[in-house]
Structure 1
């Protein structure tokens, strides 16, 4: 799919589905640049996970959260700083407490404006969604971990270290066995590698694989990926298997001194043959570029 063909990244809150007690998912319906969004309730407060892209999407999510909360306090968090996940947080200002990990806050400050400009160039529908959008400013920034007490329900916010971005965090709902991964995991598509040298090279295929192996070992009952359908723990093992496959096929060819463009062409053809039903083929070459750089740095 070309940038010109990207559909309007509209969040549709009418599709919200309760997957556990007082835990809603607004599914992305496989629409590009629409994340899966969570609304998690406790006796005293409600946490929203992700905002959707831009003011109008975020206002719909906020309205649904208000309806669910019925007077309970609102919190907001985002899995990482990319615009479809976080660039609606300004709509929650004064209504919800926005909290993120330190590395994500640093990403927002250092890269937010550039990503906002870049995304506005992805087509008219995207630009309209981002009209009036602002780079989010968190209310609370934590370092190592954050346990949020919603009243009778603890939600764990855990930074994972560098992977898809520097500031990835996962959100665990232990009593429901639910894990929100952001773009560390997707279903039905190749892993998204935001490898944009020289401006952004913080993605790490090697560390991402380590993160996924660790998350897979925790065996959550339900995994809510950044994009694509929620499912079981096999989502995590499948992503780990793909990242290992991408690393091994890339490094095997670099070990034989094959040029990077030749490596990218061969690996792309091989992985499409193995996963013909997956979308996001444009991310294969980005992943190869990242792993070639990491191969050179070994």
Structure 2
């Protein structure tokens, strides 16, 4: 099993809602495992909900809070990626909101959703209880690379980043407020989550993830809402990118020395914990090492191919 069983109930708490910008509200996860930060972005005639919480029971609370925020405005729902605590409550919104995601995420829901549902049900009784009655629903609107959603006096940008934490990662930008919702591309106060579970799931790409974060940082948002952890400023985009770069470099340096992967993981984990002793989620470091070890092989192959072709004319 890729995760330790959870002993606490992963419950969304609407009572902790916080407005981070004008008509942009976040239900913070407050450090609770398998509870994401959930967003509500309002315009003159519509409200967009970002992520659902784990399962129907949490999603019902999110929907009730959204209806209260909307006060009669139309509701939309989007999810930052297909993982259960972010998307597996979408069924609750079926008769109340228009659900829209990028095409890669829609495919993830179809092809990987059922196996992730079974995997998460094995993470202890509290998680299984919250996943009772889950039905994986198809989105109402599917876009390819980007989608501008007009909420009335405010246009929100949904963007498919391409493969990074997952194939279907999506960020949500509120340009007039300088707010960026990143999903699990960013975690605050914890090591980046690498869903690296060969041979079952190897979609995560550390190298692409670094590229995505560099591009997001260049856009210069003022407020970053991570998938988990505290709402932060733009600096967190650079902090996480620098961590991923260090993880890559320390892994590849040892891979060049032909060390066994287990030795590489142990050495790199010690190095990363020494750099960030206060961060949670230490088990994810070894998963990241596994991902970068695999990408090192691909990098070597690509470099060898370029050398064989010689300089271009």
Bigger Cα Rg: 2
Q: How far did residue 136 of structure 1 move?
A: 3.0
Q: Give 3-state SS (helix, strand or coil) of 2:226's partner.
A: strand
Q: Is the 8 A contact 1:46 1:74 kept in 2?
A: yes
**Is 1:194 the equivalent of 2:195?**
yes
Equivalent position of 2:204 in the other structure: 203
What's the CA shift string for 1:69-104, capped at 9, x where partnerless? Answer: 111110000000000000000000110000000000
Q: What is the rounded CA distance, in whole Å, between the counterparts of 2:60 and 2:143 in structure 1?
A: 26
Q: Is the 8 A contact 2:251 2:293 kept in 1?
A: yes
Q: What is the rounded CA distance, in whole Å, between the counterparts of 2:294 and 2:88 in structure 1?
A: 30
Equivalent position of 1:279 in the other structure: 280
What's the CA shift string for 1:118-159, capped at 9, x where partnerless? Answer: 000000000000011122311110012100000000000001
Equivalent position of 1:115 in the other structure: 116
Distance 1:4 1:104, change over 3 A: closer
Q: Structure 1: which 4+ aligned runs deviate by more than 2 Å?
A: 2-6
Equivalent position of 1:161 in the other structure: 162
User: Aligned residues, how many?
Assistant: 297
Q: Give 3-state SS (helix, strand or coil) of 1:297's partner.
A: helix
What's the CA shift string for 1:143-179, capped at 9, x where partnerless? Answer: 1210000000000000101000000010000000000
What's the CA shift string for 1:7-66, capped at 9, x where partnerless? Answer: 211000111111111111000001010000000110010000000001110000000110
Q: Is the 8 A contact 1:185 1:226 kept in 2?
A: yes
Using the size of structure 1 for normalisation, the TM-score is: 0.98
Q: How far did residue 217 of structure 1 move?
A: 1.1
Using the size of structure 2 for normalisation, the TM-score is: 0.94
Pairs within 5 Å for 1:21-100: 21-100=22-101
**Is 1:233 the equivalent of 2:234?**
yes
Q: Give 3-state SS (helix, strand or coil) of 2:49's partner.
A: strand
Q: What is the rounded CA distance, in whole Å, between the counterparts of 2:141 and 2:197 in structure 1?
A: 29
Q: CA RMSD in A?
A: 0.8
Q: What is the rounded CA distance, in whole Å, between the counterparts of 1:200 and 1:256 in structure 2?
A: 27
Q: Is the 8 A contact 1:116 1:135 kept in 2?
A: no
Q: Is the 8 A contact 1:112 1:135 kept in 2?
A: yes
